[in-house]
Amino acid sequence: MELGSFKIDILHDGYFKLDGGAMFGVVPKQVWDRLEPADDRNRIKLASNPTLVRTGDHTILIDTGLGDKYGPSSLDHYEIELPRYLTAELHRLGLEPENVDYVINTHLHFDHIGGNTVRNEAGDFIPAFPNAKYVMQKAEYEDAMSPGPRTKASYNPDDIVPLQESGQIHLIDGDTEVVPGIRMRVTGGHTRSHSIVEIEAEGQKALFLADLIPTSSHIRVPYVMGYDLFPADTATYKEELFKEAVEGDYILIFEHSPHVKAGRVRFDGDEIRFIAEPYA
């Protein structure tokens, strides 16, 4: 899709599954199961939609999908389909990993940054994007490098440590404009410094929502994931964001939506309504 002079491509990195109850937090199954039907192991199908923005001056990849460093139990548990499609998607656009000059990591969970690194011929992990600065929040980096008992399973050091060794990590602290028109905004909620990405060109805005609103079925304010460390903060941020998104007619991009990947929101009385748009 075009946003002013920017080109935005929502990439299809493939599917995986997570527990439906955990994905919908306090929402009862009889409600969420109608939106996203559970399989026989109570899991729902999710997509991985990292997004590429070409501003003319820069090529920025927002999150890198799941990557392929999983053992048999994770592959079974999350039903991760391999191979992942991220590199093929770049090729579809006529790009090589070398052409990406910024990678933005919204947060460091494995299902968002698993494609940060790849295995070389010797079997060691190396940066997947050799010419990119990998931009991430300092607090998220600290939390990922020394996780607690509840957060440990969400982080994989192999997604991060090779980037330290290559000197490609670029830590930022709080809301920051990464390149002109591309801004990282800290939302908290999901993790202490989980971020979304605001894309602005010629007065138009799109928001890459990461895990703030993972799918188009999570539009309602209380539909907050059980995975969130600070769920009340997620709800508050969503409520505020909808006012801004309606007012500014923003395009919203959902990182995990298996069906509708982008759209806009409108108020219908006090209720927020989602209007899908036929983006890739």
CB closer to Zn ion out of 89 and 211: 211
Distance CA 97, CA 110 (A): 19
The least distance separating Zn ion from the CB of residue 251, rounded to whole angstroms, comes to 22
| CB-based contacts of 168, cutoff 8 Å, min separation 6 | 127, 132, 133, 134
**Per CB under 5 A, does 228 bind Zn ion?**
no
CB closer to Zn ion out of 59 and 187: 187
Contact letters for Zn ion, residues 51-90 (x by CB under 5 A): ----------------------------------------
**DSSP symbol at 65:** B
Contact 200, 97 (CB under 8 A): no
Q: Select the residue interacting with Zn ion from 12, 45, 109, 133 (CB under 5 A).
A: 109
Question: Which residue, 93, 89, 71, 90, is CA-closest to 80?
Answer: 71
CB closer to Zn ion out of 48 and 117: 48
CB closer to Zn ion out of 36 and 211: 211
CB closer to Zn ion out of 159 and 211: 211
Number of residues that bind Zn ion (CB under 5 A): 2
**Per CB under 5 A, does 211 bind Zn ion?**
yes
The least distance separating Zn ion from the CB of residue 10, rounded to whole angstroms, comes to 18
Name the residue with the smallest CB distance to Zn ion: 109
The least distance separating Zn ion from the CB of residue 111, rounded to whole angstroms, comes to 6
The least distance separating Zn ion from the CB of residue 190, rounded to whole angstroms, comes to 6
**Per CB under 5 A, does 13 bind Zn ion?**
no
Paired residues of 3 in beta bridges = 6
The interface region with Zn ion, picked from 11-19, 27-35, 65-73, 207-215 by CB under 5 A, is 207-215
3-state percent breakdown (helix, strand, coil) of the chain, nearest 5: 25, 30, 45
Distance CA 86, CA 129 (A): 12
**Per CB under 5 A, does 140 bind Zn ion?**
no
CB closer to Zn ion out of 26 and 88: 26
The least distance separating Zn ion from the CB of residue 226, rounded to whole angstroms, comes to 12
Half-sphere exposure of 227 (CA within 13 A, CB side): 20
The amino acid at 90: L
E strand residue ranges, the chain: 2-3, 6-10, 15-19, 43-47, 51-54, 59-62, 102-104, 117-119, 125-127, 133-137, 169-172, 176-179, 182-186, 195-201, 204-208, 251-253, 262-268, 271-276
User: Under rule CB under 5 A, which residues in 167-186 are in contact with Zn ion?
Assistant: none
**DSSP symbol at 153:** G
- Cα–Cα distances (Å) from 173 to 109, 145, 240, in that order, read 18, 16, 22
The least distance separating Zn ion from the CB of residue 130, rounded to whole angstroms, comes to 26
Report the interface residues with Zn ion, using CB under 5 A. 109, 211
